Amino acid sequence: EEQQGEGYDGFELIKVSVADGVGHLRLANVASKNAVSIRLRREVTNCLSHLSTDPAVRVVVLSAEGKVFSAGIDISELGMLGSEGASLDPGRRAMVIADFIRGFQDFVTALERCAKPVIAAVHGPCIGAGIDIITACDMRLCSKEANFSVREAKVGLAADVGTLQRLPKVVGCDSWVRDLAFTGRDFGAEEALRHGLVQEVLGSPDALLERARQLAKQIAANSPLAVSATKASLNYSRDHTIAEGLEHIVLMNQVNLQAPDTMVAAQAFLTKQAPSFPDLPKPSKL
């Protein structure tokens, strides 16, 4: 049974529950089609900081309520940005705009920096900033009616929150990424699957969530220390040379191999029982 854990109350635009080692974060600003507003990004960022350090959480599932995963950035706030700092000179006004952009970048990067794997479960439209969000997740699933768009070019922007940086590394086809980014066209679940944006397409939103939970529970059954180190190594190696990545995992495992997790796994194998790994510690209060 999913329960709201300590530190997950007080949110208005998201819902959070925890069960069986899985934290489930749901975008719940249905009236605005889960558009990414300043408040939404602050709530998600705050929630992720708790999920990342909560010993009861080993994996995070990210989904959305309503018929739309995300309609993208809240356009009304872009209008507010136009008036903010209007009396400033161009140099100082540019600093205000840069701060606004970096705030959204930090929100998306919080998904990537979460110490726990994040599984995105996408149904319905996933537009603009929605693509930014899911490309910062570790795994992506969608239902068959999902549709996607790198929409920014159609609204007079270059995507600036992470899609242009992460999507080419996620899918590995630069030409297809440029097609999407230059045209702003829509594409469906099967095209997303064909190019590797998602790993699996499910028949319905309910089947999608069930599959996401199933994957999350499989991951949660493993050593949380090993899973966290694996995510850190994959992310580090993506942005560095092979030699640097190899040295990075040496430094991590020279510590992690001193933990009991490997022996716990070996003992479970010998006794044909499911292993029970210790949780990661709570963060220091110092």
The pLDDT tens digits for 171-198 are 989 999 999 999 999 999 999 999 999 9
Residue 181 amino acid letter? A
**Would strands 186-188 and 147-149 be described as parallel, antiparallel, or unpaired?**
antiparallel
Backbone dihedral angles phi then psi of residue 191, each to the nearest 5 degrees: -70, -40
Residues 251 and 185 in one domain: no
Whole-number Å distance between alpha carbons of 50 and 53: 5
Average pLDDT value for residue range 25-51: 96
pLDDT exceeds 90 at position 8: no
pLDDT exceeds 60 at position 95: yes
Residue 9 lies in a domain: no
- Could you give the 3-state DSSP secondary structure of residue 146? coil
Decide: residue 281, CB within 10 A, 0-12 exposed, 13-18 middle, 19+ buried: exposed
Residue 252 lies in a domain: yes
Residues 36 and 71 in one domain: yes
Q: What range defines the domain where residue 53 resides? A: 14-221
Query: What count of residues does the chain have?
Result: 286
- What angle, 0 to 180 degrees and rounded to 10, lies between the N-to-C axes of helices 75-83 and 90-113? 150
Residues 106 and 190 in one domain: yes
pTM of the model: 0.93
- Could you give the 3-state DSSP secondary structure of residue 7? coil
Could you tell me which of 201, 211, 212, 184 has the C-alpha nearest to residue 128?
184
